[in-house]
A and B are shown apart, each in its own frame.
Chain A
């Protein structure tokens, strides 16, 4: 079984995307054998009121009975925008969303902003995961209207060290850390935090140049299949798993990477 923990529908304002509707993604999943995708609405990164994007996603999934069997919707919540607590409750209790994706750099708050910590704790209390991204697009090919990443600018692409403070602040939450980019050498304390936390990386990111090395470093229980679709191609994240030799990952380990680790976090 294959579960993609890092997919989207919606638009990226600076570049035309393909396969960015539930229908197109559904066909993509069928073509390449993906059973279930965790999705959120990219529009939520850009709307000031992210709940509009969550409503769009809810309606799109409801538009076809086939979709609800294949998509696990995540809400996009901005914890420094009015009414987010109500939005979160609506998404989870009324819409049945099963997690939250957060975008501190796009929504312009620090990862340890008290509102962010409160949001993560509320999601934790629902027993659901929160997801953070290293980056959405490679800043080198970004639009001049995208968030800045120039020399000397404080808004740079993140590495793992930028995300770990929230894990440290709310250590009993569930985390997905997506699109692994920008290698960071962790000290012993940081690595211990990663290993003891309920935390998953997906396999879509460019920094994973040798999957076997990453499994050895972080543990095979820390990774799950992800595509970062439709921004990145649909197969590279899967290739990192399927091309592992048997002496690097046996069939049980591969199955954990394909779906087992994701099922555990998603509460299947």
Chain B
């Protein structure tokens, strides 16, 4: 990166450094009577950090991303995948709008299948369903799996621990595939300061719902969506400490400085998946800025989700 300057350039080259570290008193204006500047600053500034090299160093599987939802068709997904070195995206289109009738969820899955055909080496669909329609959902899951989709993505039609979900979860256990559920926690939601009304859909799954279903089905795998999605990520991660079949993806538009380190500390290095939820810059930036080790970053960006895929034989080479 050209913004990173070596010592010689810093001292002799730029207008700023030509004034030398005189910048400190003359430009920055801090008043330090009788003090001189510390020349060693010029050395410490000369970091060789290259962000884009760091970005491209890690293979990435995006475990939470949508097409035809926020920002158009799959061309936009691929453009950002190329920009940020994302190998494959697991795209979904849950029933974000509407009631999620069988006709609707089949059409959403068809759209994802179309995306897969358009970019067969880059996009893999996560199928959606609606457990209110159990028979149709089971049939749809079989159809989608046969066509190469992997993993269930569901929204707010039902809570994850609703008994209507049980047959669907049992089907997913048979398939050895993960159940990826939209989720949220914030003031006013669930047991968290109920007096606030924030207008969240009443059937939104909260951490307590995940814990409830994870205890009932310890052999199932659950993906708590987007800890960076605006909800209280600390609350969620603390809720899941003792439930190893609950995984979280790090997607969402929020990128608090300590989120990744804190989630790793609470959940360990096997239960975090890289995801964007189409917030591409934050999704990569917050992991690279974390204090994770090289191996932990590799696991979060790629290996952890691939281990889930491996259980159903759908892993990426």
Q: Interface on A for B, CB 8 Å cutoff?
A: 1-2, 16-19, 30-33, 35-36, 61-62, 65-66, 68-73, 94-98, 138, 140-142, 144, 150-151, 206, 208-209, 211, 229-240, 242-243, 245, 251, 254-255, 258-259, 263, 266-268
Beyond the given A231-B257, A258-B3, please list 9 additional residue pairs across the A-B interface where CB-CB is below 8 A: A19-B257, A68-B28, A69-B28, A141-B232, A144-B187, A206-B255, A231-B256, A239-B84, A239-B281
Of chain B, the residue at the smallest CB distance from A16 is B258
Question: What number of A-B contacts does a CB cutoff of 8 Å give?
Answer: 178
How many chain B residues touch A (Cβ–Cβ < 8 Å)? 67
Chain B 239-270 interface 0/1 with A at a Cβ cutoff of 8 Å (1 = within): 00000000000000111111111000000000
Q: B55 — which chain A residues lie within 8 A by C-beta?
A: 239, 243
B38 with A66: CB separation less than 8 A: yes
B52 touches A243 (CB 8 A): yes
Nearest B residue to A149 by beta-carbon distance?
B198
Q: Nearest Cβ distance between residue B310 and chain A, in whole angstroms? A: 30
Q: Do the beta carbons of A33 and B48 come within 8 Å of each other? A: yes
B198 touches A150 (CB 8 A): yes
Which residue of the partner chain, among A33, A98, A144, A236, contacts B29 with CB atoms under 8 Å?
A98
Is there contact, CB below 8 Å, between A33 and B28?
Answer: no
Say if the beta carbon of B83 comes within 8 Å of chain A: yes
Residue numbers of B with Cβ under 8 A of A are: 1-5, 14-16, 21, 23-25, 27-32, 35-38, 40-41, 44-45, 47-49, 51-52, 55, 71, 83-84, 186-188, 193, 196-199, 230-233, 253-261, 278-282, 284-286, 288-290
A–B complex contacts, Cβ < 8 Å, 6 sampled: A68-B35, A150-B188, A150-B198, A151-B199, A206-B255, A232-B257
Chain B neighbourhood of A267, CB < 8 A: 27
What residues of A have a CB within 8 angstroms of the CB of B25 in the complex?
A: 68
What separation, in Å, do the CA atoms of A254 and B4 have in the docked complex?
13
Contact A65 B3 (CB under 8 A): no
A138 adjacent to B30 (CB under 8 Å):
no
Cβ B38 vs Cβ A65 within 8 A: yes
Cα–Cα, bound, A90→B48 (Å): 38
Docked-complex contact B257 and A230, CB < 8 angstroms: yes
By beta carbon, the residue of chain A nearest B82 is: A245
Q: Shortest Cβ distance from B99 into chain A, in angstroms?
A: 23
- Which residues of B sit under 8 angstroms from A268, Cβ to Cβ? 15-16, 23, 27
Whether the pair B3, A1 counts as a contact (CB closer than 8 A) is yes
Contact of B28 among A66, A98, A144 (CB under 8 A): A98
CA distance A258 to B51 in the complex (A): 13
